[in-house]
Amino acid sequence: MNRTGPARSMRRLPRATLATALTLVCALAQAQSPDVPWRDAIAWRGFVARMQADGEGWRLRTDAPGVRADVRIPAQPLRSRTASPLFDGLFALAQYELAQAQVESITDSAYDNGRPIPCACFETGEKWRYVWTRDLSFAADLALARLRPQRTRASLRFKLSDLRAGAPQGTYVVQDTGSGGSWPISSDRMVWFLAARGLLDAQDGDTDTARFREETWATLTDTLAQDRQYVFDAQMGLYRGETSFLDWREQSYPRWTADDVAFLAQSFALSTNVLHYEALRLGERMARERGDARSTDYARQAKALAAQIERRFWREDRGLYMSYIGTAAHPVSFEAYDLLGLSLLIESGIAPPQRARRALSNYPTLESGSPVIWPQQPGIAIYHNRAIWPFVSAYALRAARTTDDARRIEHEIRSILRGAALAGSNMENFELSTQAAHVDDGALSGPVVNSPRQLWSVGGYLQMVMEGVFGVQADGSVAPKLPTSLVPMLFGDAATITLSLGDRDIVLQRPDHGDGALLVAGETTRDGRKVHVQLVSAPPSSAPKHAGARLDATAFAPTSPDAPQWVSQGAQWRIDVAPGERLYVDGSLRLDASSQARHATLSMRDARQCASLTRMERGVESLHSPTRCVGADVRIDGEWPRTWRAPTSGRYALDVDFRNTHGPINTGITAAVKTLIADCDGATAQSGTLVMPHGAAMQRSSPATIEVRAGATCRFTLRDGINMSYLSHNARYTGGEGGVGGPLNAADIGALHVMPLTSRPSP
């Protein structure tokens, strides 16, 4: 990118103008020094953004390239009064952009052929004119639910649906179009309940609140039951599916998943499991309030899920929680971490306090902000990779407040503020190192997609002001956790700063002295509509203990190796391991990296064995190669039902060859979901889910597991499960199959495979 900041053009200016410009530059340089905070202007990498009062409103000017250079911001109903016009004006900008997102109809080319659909909703962004479950829900959880409850309820309702076919009938949250044909490859629709919980106790005088509570309860019980049946893995104690928000495979998953999403359907993601945990906790709460016996079941399931999340995602050598792990057949650790999953985990309370503080402290940062993933992936264009997303920064701000991390609170506040100021809008994302809305880097240029006034970015900015600075909680209580380092910027020489919320004013009173890193609420008094909060220094013991060496936020992972090759040598298997590679077998590290080429030998046996490779470079591990498994694989062809006789007693994995060409690899609603039923002599029928995502090549489905006694003959049948094409909501879908033509849950199915497992599940 060619940068031509103010200093580069001074030589052409008249003397008087030059003097004025030099004065401005000197003032800005002073404003950026460590001792003097941002006020009406901010300078960053040669560019300047300046805010000034404009009548009752504001005017923001920036010389950053490719963004809105001159933005006029009308006066807004909520107002902050601080020593920083930049801070106050950008709060008005976020409200203005929230108002622009309020529409009476929505459009998307994949629905009704792009014709307007009536909906008094929030559209997702200037470039995204539809309502998407994930974007809306995170935005609502951050700020929309408390500021616009009626319209938020209407928007959330748009993402609910009954079934136009299939059983059982009920009300379900819509998983939007996505990887391999959507749910259950993507399974983070539980985020809807994160948004809904902020509306259940709304005191807005709207009779619609009670109706929304009943809708939420019905949807919650139905959706939890459906995911328990099709997405929960009893062996792992976790829910399968793709990471929430990080839904562009090559950006954060191994490169080979670009053409093979079966791994996504069978792996386990931190963020998606935390969202299921939060939904279970909401189910427990609502059931208890209703006197429903299911409260006990939901509580038990939530507790068990929390234990497995803590057990399986923590990586002690990094002091971080992994973004995702491998499959039940090969539950390997991954050198992959994401800020949203970590922040949601910390907020949920699952992580023990000291471990939560350690993990957030260890997660890498740059002066510009916090990357949404680490490490970065080589050869991948900027989007999730090499990027800052303001809404994720807002969740990191929440996590930092939870852990009383003054340094991280300040860091995220400054990043969110700087991004909006320099771009003239609450953009969808920014390049990591420059915090620019676009960076030219040849084939890797990006962010590849970026939209002004992105709804969750708007929600993140509003949350930063209301909660991050003034401490206004979702329940209306006021609990500021303000870094002492921000006092000069926000207070200047004044004794107070104020947030006017319409029904009340929150007045934070400057401390008499601030000898700690963090300011919290001392005495709180109320005078009419004004709530006065005296700030005092937090006790030193509340500050987190930071780790020593920090990770390089811009570090790239090595390229993943090719899949391991199992070579038979008599009664043993041999796997060659190149210099710098690690070998994992059945979920555990078998050979660590070495400067020498080596090989591993494993006993040849009937039971399934799975292996993958990673590569180590400069202390960073690559993502895993494709997994390769061996074992006594029995192939059963022919018409259904198919039969098989168990040679020995034990557990067996069953899957099928399939090809699903009913949609592209990256989108759609027609992932095939079948229930495999095994009727074996003398035993109760067993069943399991087979997931068959979109893909042009013949591949293997997810496996079902059964337990059989020796000599028993089993009869296998297939029954249709459910996918997103069954939802009435998707009768409007015109972006591919399964929409206006009716539900579609089909794949070309070949051989059924049966493979013996070890007698006990892998740890």
DSSP string, 403-452: TT-HHHHHHHHHHHHHHHHHHTS--S-EETTT--S-B-BTBT-B-SS--T
The edge-to-edge listing of strands for the beta sheet with 713-720 is 642-645, 713-720, 672-680, 686-692
Whether 7 shows a pLDDT value over 90: the answer reads: no
Mean pLDDT of 581-585: 98
Contact 249, 693 (CB under 8 A): no
Q: Whole-angstrom Cα distance, residue 508 to residue 504?
A: 13
Mean pLDDT of 138-164: 97
Q: b/e string for 721-760 if b means 16 or more Cβ within 10 A?
A: bbbbbbbebbbbbebbbbbeeebbbbbebebbbbbbbeee
Q: What is the DSSP letter of 596?
A: S
Q: Whole-angstrom Cα distance, residue 375 to residue 377?
A: 6
Whether 25 shows a pLDDT value over 80: the answer reads: no
Contact 744, 663 (CB under 8 A): no
pLDDT tier at 204 (50, 70, 90 boundaries)?
low
Mean pLDDT of 663-678: 98
Residue 511: strand, helix, or coil: coil
Residue 739, both tokens: 């929409």
Distances, alpha carbon 379 to alpha carbons 51, 162, 376, 440, 760, in Å: 38, 42, 10, 14, 40
Q: What per-residue confidence (pLDDT) applies to 203?
A: 63
Pairing of strands 430-431, 713-720: unpaired
Q: What per-residue confidence (pLDDT) applies to 2?
A: 34
Q: What is the DSSP letter of 631?
A: S
Contact 350, 321 (CB under 8 A): no
Mean pLDDT of 613-628: 98
Question: CA dihedral in degrees (486, 487, 492, 493; nearest 10)?
Answer: -170
Question: What is the residue type of 37?
Answer: P
Mean pLDDT of 98-124: 98
Whether 22 shows a pLDDT value over 50: the answer reads: no
Residue positions counted in the chain: 763
Q: Whole-angstrom Cα distance, residue 490 to residue 712?
A: 75
Q: What per-residue confidence (pLDDT) applies to 166?
A: 79
Whether 194 shows a pLDDT value over 90: the answer reads: yes
Whether 31 shows a pLDDT value over 90: the answer reads: no
Those residues with Cβ within 8 angstroms of residue 210's Cβ, 6 or more apart along the chain or in another chain = none
Q: Whole-angstrom Cα distance, residue 195 to residue 386?
A: 28
Q: What per-residue confidence (pLDDT) applies to 5?
A: 31
Q: Whole-angstrom Cα distance, residue 604 to residue 568?
A: 8
Mean pLDDT of 328-347: 98
Q: Is 381 left (phi over 0), alpha (psi -120 to 50) or beta?
A: beta
Contact 325, 308 (CB under 8 A): no
Q: Whole-angstrom Cα distance, residue 6 to residue 21?
A: 8
Contact 26, 39 (CB under 8 A): no
Rg value, the chain, Cα: 27
Whether 202 shows a pLDDT value over 90: the answer reads: no
Question: CA dihedral in degrees (590, 594, 598, 601; nearest 10)?
Answer: -10
Q: Whole-angstrom Cα distance, residue 90 to residue 742?
A: 47
Q: What is the DSSP letter of 367?
A: T
CATH 2.60.120.260 boundaries in the chain: 634-756
The gap from C-alpha 512 to its chain's centroid, in whole angstroms, comes to: 41
Mean pLDDT of 366-392: 98
Q: Whole-angstrom Cα distance, residue 665 to residue 756?
A: 31
Q: Give the fold, CATH level 3, of 634-756.
A: Jelly Rolls (2.60.120)
Q: Whole-angstrom Cα distance, residue 121 to residue 128?
A: 13
Mean pLDDT of 395-422: 98
Q: What per-residue confidence (pLDDT) applies to 6?
A: 30
Q: Whole-angstrom Cα distance, residue 739 to residue 725?
A: 6
Q: What per-residue confidence (pLDDT) applies to 17?
A: 36
Q: Whole-angstrom Cα distance, residue 577 to residue 564?
A: 8
- Vertex 365, ends 362 and 371: CA angle to 5°? 105
Contact 340, 395 (CB under 8 A): yes
What's the mean pLDDT when you consider all of the chain?
Answer: 93
Whether 755 shows a pLDDT value over 90: the answer reads: yes
Q: What per-residue confidence (pLDDT) applies to 682?
A: 86
Contact 554, 386 (CB under 8 A): yes
Those residues with Cβ within 8 angstroms of residue 569's Cβ, 6 or more apart along the chain or in another chain = 601
Q: What per-residue confidence (pLDDT) applies to 541?
A: 57
pTM, two decimals, is 0.94
Mean pLDDT of 161-182: 94
Mean pLDDT of 626-655: 97
Pick from 502, 490, 491, 496: nearest CA to 533: 496
Q: What is the DSSP letter of 604?
A: -
Whether 521 shows a pLDDT value over 90: the answer reads: yes
pLDDT tier at 762 (50, 70, 90 boundaries)?
very low
Q: Whole-angstrom Cα distance, residue 195 to residue 152?
A: 9
Q: What per-residue confidence (pLDDT) applies to 759?
A: 52
pLDDT tier at 451 (50, 70, 90 boundaries)?
very high
Mean pLDDT lowest among 78-92, 162-176, 280-294, 482-496: 162-176
Q: Whole-angstrom Cα distance, residue 428 to residue 454?
A: 5
Whether 4 shows a pLDDT value over 50: the answer reads: no
Question: CA dihedral in degrees (583, 587, 590, 593; nearest 10)?
Answer: 40
Q: What is the DSSP letter of 756?
A: E
Mean pLDDT of 115-125: 98
Residue 728, both tokens: 């009435």
Pick from 307, 309, 302, 308: nearest CA to 323: 309
Question: What is the residue type of 35?
Answer: D
Whether 361 shows a pLDDT value over 70: the answer reads: yes
Whether 28 shows a pLDDT value over 60: the answer reads: no
Pick from 628, 636, 697, 704: nearest CA to 673: 704
Q: What per-residue confidence (pLDDT) applies to 341?
A: 98
Residue 556, both tokens: 């790239």
Q: Whole-angstrom Cα distance, residue 264 to residue 702?
A: 10
Contact 97, 89 (CB under 8 A): no
- Vertex 319, ends 318 and 322: CA angle to 5°? 75
Q: What is the DSSP letter of 40?
A: S
Helices (H) and strands (E) in the chain, counts: 17, 41
Q: What per-residue confidence (pLDDT) applies to 171?
A: 98
Whether 34 shows a pLDDT value over 80: the answer reads: no
Q: b/e string for 361-371 if b means 16 or more Cβ within 10 A?
A: bbbbbbebbbb
Mean pLDDT of 572-589: 98
First to last CA, the chain: 50
